[in-house]
């Protein structure tokens, strides 16, 4: 399963990978912060209420000590009646030193079931008070952190001697309602934050992927059309901008190399098919053109004319006036011959450095006037 998810993520486009990464990071961060906030709020609120209930338990233990010692049930009930205004106290039980139930108070404003009311019901059925106390005492020591009705025990001490115990069961439903409201509020805020993270993530991933898409399109265009003159506009100075600059520089180097290769190929082609001095076709090109002309004349039943020209006394010119004069003479002759022939005709120099031999071919029946 994990391998399939990894392969799926690996094959996603870069734009989707960035979006998924943004969503995962945002979701993890928002969830972590939300849980941390709610747990901290719950613990802080619970500790605050627990401390408040403990303070009230100490006050009750201090005020009810005298009625407990003198077995004054009426005064004890009057003291406990003052707890009706407290929304956080659900029920209170006062036990004597021998674990006998002295009096029980239940807040009439609370309609929720509680442990003390259940124990009072059991007491009416004849249950032992010690069993009731041990059950409450065990609940107070081992209650769950998520209990909606936690139980707290406070000893009643007179002159350093324990004369009884106060057991209070608090009502934390209001706290849980507050936490649920906070959880709903946090969920709404987290959802809005996640939506904003998606929108901003899509905008930022466009900023990152747009240059990459431009670079990819340029690479495809260069690969298909071999257009090495194409350039990418450099819009930033970050790593992507440096990558685009490097791509443009690579295209420039390729373009320079291709231009150099083309020029060298042209030079080699010139040397292979043309005379270096006069610029006329050489023997190799003449033979190729002659073969083509012969095939064409045969196909269309035409005649072919070949004119061979040699310059008399050319050796004496080289000997008396020098080779430069001879070369200039050959250039002039080649230039004049080139002006009187057609584009379909071929003029070639057959000789070497000192030979003035020139051959002209006409692939048509009618030759031009010399």
Query: What would the DSSP string read from start to end of 78-110?
Result: HHHHGGGG-SSEEEEEEEETTS-EEEEEE-TT-
> What is the DSSP track for 50-84?
HHHHHHHHHHHHHHSHHHHHTT-HHHHHHHHHGGG
Buried b vs exposed e over 19-57: b needs ≥16 C-beta within 10 Å? beebeeebeeebeeebeeebeebbeebbeebeeebeebb
pLDDT above 50 (res 251): yes
The helix/strand/coil state of 358 is strand
CATH of 71-171, one of 3.30.2310, 3.40.720, 3.30.450, 2.40.160: 3.30.450
**pLDDT higher for 346 or 236?**
346
**353 pLDDT tier (thresholds 50, 70, 90):** very low
pLDDT above 80 (res 76): yes
Q: What's the length of the chain?
A: 370
| Phi and psi torsions of 86, nearest 5° | -85, 120
pLDDT above 80 (res 166): yes
Mean pLDDT of the 200-229 span:
76
Average pLDDT across the chain, whole number? 78
Q: What is the pLDDT of residue 367?
A: 45
Task: Indicate the range of 20-34, 204-218, 268-282, 319-333 predicted with least confidence.
Answer: 204-218
Q: Does domain 274-362 have CATH number 3.40.640.10?
A: no
Q: What is the pLDDT of residue 168?
A: 83
Q: What is the pLDDT of residue 354?
A: 45
pLDDT above 70 (res 355): no
- Cα(138)–Cα(131) distance, rounded to whole angstroms? 10
pLDDT tens-place string over residues 21-30: 777 888 888 8
Q: What is the pLDDT of residue 370?
A: 46
- In degrees, rounded to 5, the angle at the alpha carbon of residue 69 between the alpha carbons of residues 66 and 70 is 85
Mean pLDDT of the 350-368 span:
53
- Cα(189)–Cα(169) distance, rounded to whole angstroms? 35
Among 9-18, 19-28, 102-111, top mean pLDDT goes to 19-28
| DSSP run (H or E) holding 38 | helix 14-63
Q: What is the pLDDT of residue 302?
A: 81
pLDDT tens-place string over residues 172-197: 777 788 888 989 998 999 888 888 88
**pLDDT higher for 369 or 115?**
115
pLDDT tens-place string over residues 261-316: 888 888 888 888 888 888 888 888 888 888 888 888 888 888 888 888 887 787 78
Q: What is the pLDDT of residue 160?
A: 86
pLDDT above 60 (res 365): no
């Amino acid at each position: 399963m994990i391998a399939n998810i990894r392969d799926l993520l690996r094959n996603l486009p870069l734009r989707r990978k960035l979006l998924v990464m943004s969503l995962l990071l945002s979701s993890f961060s928002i969830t972590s912060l939300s849980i941390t906030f709610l747990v901290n709020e719950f613990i802080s609120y619970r500790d605050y209420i627990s401390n408040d209930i403990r303070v009230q338990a100490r006050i009750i233990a201090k005020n009810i000590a005298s009625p407990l010692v003198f077995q004054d049930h009426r005064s004890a009930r009057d003291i406990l009646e003052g707890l009706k205004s407290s929304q956080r106290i659900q029920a209170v039980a006062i036990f004597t030193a021998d674990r006998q139930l002295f009096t029980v108070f239940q807040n009439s404003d609370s309609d929720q079931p509680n442990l003390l009311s259940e124990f009072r019901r059991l007491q009416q059925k004849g249950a032992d008070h010690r069993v009731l106390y041990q059950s409450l005492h065990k609940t107070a020591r081992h209650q769950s952190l998520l209990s909606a009705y936690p139980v707290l025990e406070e000893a009643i001490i007179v002159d350093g001697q324990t004369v009884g115990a106060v057991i209070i069961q608090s009502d934390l439903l209001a706290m849980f309602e507050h936490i649920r409201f906070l959880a709903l509020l946090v969920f709404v805020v987290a959802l809005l934050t996640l939506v904003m993270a998606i929108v901003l993530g899509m905008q930022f991933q466009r900023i990152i992927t747009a240059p990459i898409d431009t670079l990819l399109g340029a690479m495809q265009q260069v690969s298909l059309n071999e257009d090495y003159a194409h350039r990418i506009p450099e819009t930033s100075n970050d790593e992507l901008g440096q990558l685009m600059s490097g791509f443009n520089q690579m295209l420039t180097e390729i373009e320079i190399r291709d231009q150099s290769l083309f020029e060298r190929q042209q030079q080699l082609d010139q040397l292979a098919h043309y005379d270096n001095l006069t610029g006329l076709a050489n023997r190799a090109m003449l033979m190729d053109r002659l073969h083509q002309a012969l095939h064409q004349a045969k196909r269309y039943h035409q005649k072919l004319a070949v004119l061979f020209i040699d310059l008399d006394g050319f050796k004496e010119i080289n000997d008396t006036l020098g080779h430069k004069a001879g070369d200039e003479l050959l250039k002039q002759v080649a230039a004049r011959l080139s002006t009187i022939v057609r584009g379909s005709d071929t003029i070639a120099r057959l000789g070497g450095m000192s030979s003035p031999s020139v051959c002209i071919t006409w692939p048509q029946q009618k030759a031009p006037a010399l």
